Chains A and B, each alone.
Chain A
Amino acid sequence: MNPLLYPIAVPILLGLICLIIPRRAKFVHEIIALIGSAMTFGLLIWIFTLKPFEFLMDGSIILRVDQLSGFILLASGLFGFLITLYSFKFMKEANRSTVYYGSILWTLGAACGALMANHLVVLLVFWGFLGITLYLLILTGGNLAADAAKKTLIIIGGSDALMLLSIAFIYSVTSSFDISTMQLSAGNPLIILAFILLAVGAFAKAGAMPMHTWIPDVAETAPIPVTAYLPAALDKLLGIYLLGRMCLYMFEMSRLMNLFLMIVGSVTIIAAVMMALIQHDMRRLLAYHAVSQVGYMILGMGTGSPVGIAGGIFHMLNHSIYKSCLFLSGGSVQHRTGTTDLDRLGGLGRMMPITFSSFLIAAFAISGIPPFNGFVSKWMIYQGLVELGQVGDKLWIIWLVAAMFGSGLTLASFMKLTHSVFLGVPSQSVESKKIKEVGIGMTVPMVVLALLCVIFGIFAYSVPLKNFILPAVGNVSYLGIWDPGLATVMILVGLVVGLFIYYLMGNVKIGREANSFIGGEHLPTETRVTGTGFYNTIREFGLFRYLYRWAEAKWFDIYDQLYQLAMNVGRFFGKAHVGIFTVYMVWVLVGLTLLFVFLMGRW
């Protein structure tokens, strides 16, 4: 058997076994899932060393691993393994382990298939299969998740249909399904339409506006490992992989197509992060960031300059790392406290130091604080935008300011989250429980991901860029300078000197603990600042007041708007259903006559 078939076949077969084994044998499910994901990860490492590699059937290349898909496969395998490990403890209470572990494995297999596919129809088949496993995984959240699952299925399924249409267009122009040899020039309007439709499929998967509305709903109701696995990690990898495949290889990008991408990117960054600022639920807040960060990736792709595209792809990899880390630490908090409501958390940093540290590292990474990984990729995207200005484009400043300001807003909403969950005064419900750190099965995935954030930041050039990103994009030239190694050494030197001063003064040891000073008063324990209201000033600021009100009334939710439209159309035609038989007969007669006239006219 061809090596490329293994990572698809192994998890799908093991997933099938998982579904057959009865529900009571939960332990067996866990073992099978762990072995399956570990094996897939191993196989993907092997395949990574083999690339470029192809699988032929009837003379056409069906599956293919190249520089771009190679490292994304590797990342998918890593996430599959870590999430499975994390799920053992987290999903202990859930009694749907059959479907859960089966779908986790199936998702992994289908994701490998979609990433390796070199045939548009094969790609679409795996893509559609991923939509179904996503639906099943969301449903493990119980009855509450049913609405979100339905919404997801409709949005993802609908965009799959658009992709099918796009593939039909492409076939009608080129009469080929082969991705690797495709060269579509932007001269043909049908190709531009095909590009937009295919991009909509990628947007829906990755969660760019306006196809993003399923992500916050899913995050709020589905189990956290599911959110960390699919919307935060794999779906981002897949969606942006498809977009990268389109921009880098399949389509010759025209200025208009790039402009389309950059508008979608900037709007996504700003609008989603503004929504994140005002959320009251940890999972929903994180989900809006999962949307907002997609904007950076699309913006990077849209610059069309090598450094911008490399930055966009690098950001995709970084995002999947820190975002799953954030969701997993959120999951640990939920596991211990039983809630994700920001009003009922607080002060956990002391009780859960490992979770807090990995959360803080990931939060800094997503906010682009140097020297973590998120900064490097954002920095590369910014350079792509500046380069755009050097060749005479005037609009680059808008995209650049939107992206950099969006980064500040991201930092702001993560500061709110840090305060409400880990710092600040603990809520009564937290204080009444004896909360301690989560077990090793849950800390290991978080710590591994947090370490990756640090390594990919400090050794950005020598590890991720050299091995993963640049082979896929080609060499890039940097306009600016950023030397993360040097900066890190300097930061460490500063910290060591500072700690030495603390130590020299002997104050850490003799330092005295005292109650906080609140004007000399003793506050009752229920009086505390929760952090949820931090940005009410901005919420009430000018035009934002209306925008927020409209957003909360779901004016910008494409699903809701289409739903309303469908209902109204239905209501209109429903008026014809009067319940009188003779009226129906008249309708039938009118219809037949029209049909007859139409057919006659054609003849």
Chain B
Amino acid sequence: MNPILVYIICFPFTAIVGMLVSWIDRKVTARLQWRVGPPLFQPLYDFVKLLGKETIIPKGSSKITFLLAPLFGLVAATFVSMLVWTAILWPEKSFGGDLIVVLYFLMIPSLAVIIGGFASRNPIASLGASREMKLMLADELPFLLAVFVAVIKAGGAIRLGQLIAYQQTHGWVFLSASGICAIIVAIITMQAKLTLVPFDIPEAETELMSGVFVEYSGPPLAIFKLTRMMMLFTLPMVVVVVFLGGMHFQGISILWSILKYVVLLVLIILIRNTNPRLRIDQAVRFLWGPVTILGVAAVVLAFLEW
């Protein structure tokens, strides 16, 4: 098993599943709004169409930064996906990085969006990027607390493989009082990390005209969109590994495994379709207030071994 090979296979796999998932998202959203919704291949059509369009670069911006930023986000999303899948498939010989590495790499797609927005030389993009940064700060604190609940339960294991192995022998982290609190926090912060409604504050179409992406077009925009689709697949997978015992592919457990992800996806779509957008100060107050308190409660409960 060559790491580089796994990485290279991981990219198209994550991209294809990401497109599929984003189609599900769009289709379900459409049905909830009494629309028909797009055909199965619509995300692919969108991507290919954008690749063929011309690239417009804002006058007087830092051209190289502007064009490179999307690529870093894509690479980081692929890397996280690889770490998660190697941990799922070969829990005992995980390589490349541990949970801390995953947490840091998860920040990079947002970072890429921020730098890209800054490099656009557009006040609207700057505002959007600053909102993205604040949102990242707001969700980071509760997300860390939630994830470390699993580490506490597993007795200080920070390798993804160890977390999965622990949950195989001791049951899922989710199946305890602290685990339930933690996964609620994780789902809310996941929504913020994916910048989906009610946390789509950085791109807020109605006020910022898609904010950070306002100057992007053609292939760079295609890559940003692809990164987001991949994150829609990868981020819930991280939650599955940390709280729901990972995935297993023998016999009937295949169904179980896929169900874990689907449940998370359905929750994401439901939250997204039943909430209005928050203002950034409301989001910060919400995430640093009740959500963080719930996260602290989860940590305390985990120490009490509940």
Contact = CB atoms under 8 A, between A and B. Distances in A.
B24 interface: no
B84 interface: no
Interface centre among B71, B74, B223, B284 (most CB of A within 10 A): B71
Interface stretch (A142-150, A164-172, A492-500): A492-500
Contacts of B107: 369, 408, 411
Contacts of A375: 104
Nearest to A492: B75
Contacts of A416: 130, 133
Contacts of A519: 124, 209
B56 A511 contact: yes
B71 A389 contact: no
Contact of B75 (A408, A486, A491, A513): A491
A579 interface: no
A517 B71 CA distance: 23
A481 B96 contact: yes
A425 B123 contact: yes
Contacts of B35: none
Interface in B106-140: 107-108, 111, 114-115, 118-127, 129-130, 133-134, 136-137, 140
Interface residues of B, number: 88
A27 interface: no
A349 B121 CA distance: 11
B134 A404 contact: no
Contacts of A350: 60-63
A519 B111 CA distance: 25
Nearest to B158: A480
B144 A404 contact: yes
A519 to B, nearest CB: 7
Interface string A391-427: 0001001001100110011011001101100111110
Interface string B174-188: 000000000000000
A387 B100 CA distance: 14
Contacts of B156: 386-387, 389-390, 479
A548 B251 CA distance: 58
Contacts of B120: 516
Interface in A486-534: 486-487, 489-491, 493-495, 498-499, 501-502, 505, 507-508, 510-519, 523, 527-529, 531, 534
Contact of A370 (B101, B130, B281, B303): B101
A482 interface: yes
A499 B55 CA distance: 13
Contacts of B289: 542
A389 B155 CA distance: 8
B85 interface: no
Contacts of A409: 137
A369 B100 contact: no
Contacts, number: 243
Contacts of B280: 537
B17 interface: no
B98 A495 contact: no
Interface residues of A, number: 77
B284 A538 contact: yes
B271 interface: no
Contact of A510 (B54, B220, B223): B54
Contacts of A412: 133-134, 136-137
Contact of B95 (A423, A486, A540): A486
B145 A401 contact: yes
Nearest to B209: A519
A468 interface: no
A518 B130 contact: no
A537 B52 CA distance: 40
Interface in B74-103: 74-75, 78-79, 82, 94-101, 103
Contacts of A81: none
A370 B4 contact: no
B297 to A, nearest CB: 13
Nearest to A400: B148
A39 B213 CA distance: 53
B3 A486 contact: yes
B96 A486 contact: yes
Nearest to A350: B62
Given A479-B158, A480-B158, A482-B98, A516 B129 contact: no
A347 interface: yes
A419 B118 contact: yes
B51 interface: yes
A383 interface: yes
B62 A423 contact: yes
Given A493-B4, A512-B56, A418 B79 contact: no
A481 B58 contact: no
A368 interface: yes
Interface in B124-172: 124-127, 129-130, 133-134, 136-137, 140-141, 144-145, 148, 151-152, 155-159
Interface string A110-123: 00000000000000
9 contacts: A397-B299, A416-B130, A418-B118, A426-B60, A481-B94, A481-B159, A495-B71, A516-B59, A537-B134
Given A386-B156, A397-B303, A498-B74, 19 more contacts: A382-B100, A401-B148, A409-B137, A418-B118, A425-B122, A479-B98, A494-B11, A494-B79, A495-B72, A498-B75, A502-B55, A505-B219, A511-B55, A513-B59, A518-B124, A523-B123, A528-B123, A529-B127, A541-B284
